[in-house]
Amino acid sequence: MSRKRDKGDGHSPFWRGPLLAWGALLLLLAVNVALAYLLGGDNPLIGVGIAVAMVLVVAIIFMDLRRSGPINRSLAGAGLVWLGIMFALMFADYLTRS
Amino acid sequence: MTASTASSPPVALHEPWEDLSRQRQAATMGMWIFLLSEMLLFGGLFAAYTVCRSLNPMGFRAGSHEADLVYGTINTVLLITSSLTMTLAVRAAPARLHKVALGFLAATVALGLAFLAVKGMEYHEDLTKSLFPGPGFKLPQQGAEQFFSFYWVMTGLHMLHMTAGVIAVSRLIVVGRRYPEWLETSPAVEATGLYWSLVDVIWMILYVLIYLPGRGG
């Protein structure tokens, strides 16, 4: 995270971005619960998709990845890549079993 | 430059770094590497859950239907809000807003403790309803017991992480109250904030896997 953002961007106070992110997260949570009831909660892709959107909001705003250096961004990306490899190999096995 | 003694205030800068900027970079990078290992730890559990759910969809649906959505949703809101207060504390501290930062840290601890209390109430209710896997388990559907095995392991592991987070943030408050300049400069504040947000992120995925399947039907 950058130390230059301490009192905001010079234009906006330091609390504005996190507060907007908090509102967005609550909104996404409400949408997820509503869709689970409307669609029966049997489609995991929708629920997980919205959860991933929430995770991105936290990572970008709360964990300040948007202002992090390339090393930290690379590390966060590496985590996603390794998770992706694990899930891809797992699905390649279980989804192709007869 | 070196570690503080019992009689002197803690210093933010430690060896082998020559300035706080480099030390901060190293601290956040180290924390990200730790978070990577955490992602893979919970990722393995999520992968196992996904396989078992695909093999027993009806059992997992029945199990999830028994999980208390109200407790789960309250806890999600508490955690999201605690991530907000933690982030604001991380940003207020270097801006020399010491009292504001300490207030947000205290709010974070309070919200974390509230999360643990709600989770404890939920666990008590689950045990009362015989939802712990083993003899006398409530649900007859195949796979429902497996669902609750995942439920107890994943939420229990998450609770341990929450407890560690509450302790880490409490330490920031204790040291920061005595030494405001430490709170302003120490990379520990930012690193603890990253950890707290990851605990929040893990819960967001857990919430979808545990509480949402089987709703509306």
What totals of helices (H) and strands (E) does chain A contain, helices first? Answer: 3, 0
Summarize the confidence of residues A44-64 as an average pLDDT: 93
- Digit-coded pLDDT (tens) for B129-152: 999 999 999 999 999 999 999 999
Q: What is the largest CA-CA distance in chain A?
A: 60
Q: Please answer yes or no on whether B217 and A42 come within 8 Å at the CB atom.
A: yes
- Digit-coded pLDDT (tens) for B1-50: 444 445 566 777 777 877 778 888 888 899 999 999 999 999 999 999 99
Report yes or no on B9 lying in a domain.
no
* Whether residues A49 and A84 fall in one domain: no
* Whether residues A18 and A35 fall in one domain: yes
- Domain span holding position A89: 69-98
Counting the structural domains of chain B, the total is: 1
Cβ-based contacts of B197 with chain A (< 8 Å): 58-59, 62-63
- Domain span holding position B93: 31-211
How far apart, in whole angstroms, are the C-alpha atoms of residue A73 and residue A17?
Answer: 19
* Whether residues A60 and A94 fall in one domain: no
Q: Which residue has the tokens 């430059």?
A: B1
Q: Quickly list DSSP for B137-174.
A: -S--STTHHHHHHHHHHHHHHHHHHHHHHHHHHHHHHH
Cβ-based contacts of B90 with chain A (< 8 Å): 1
Report yes or no on B21 lying in a domain.
no
B130 touching A, CB under 8 A? Answer: no
> What ipTM is given for this predicted complex?
0.88
* Whether residues A73 and A62 fall in one domain: no
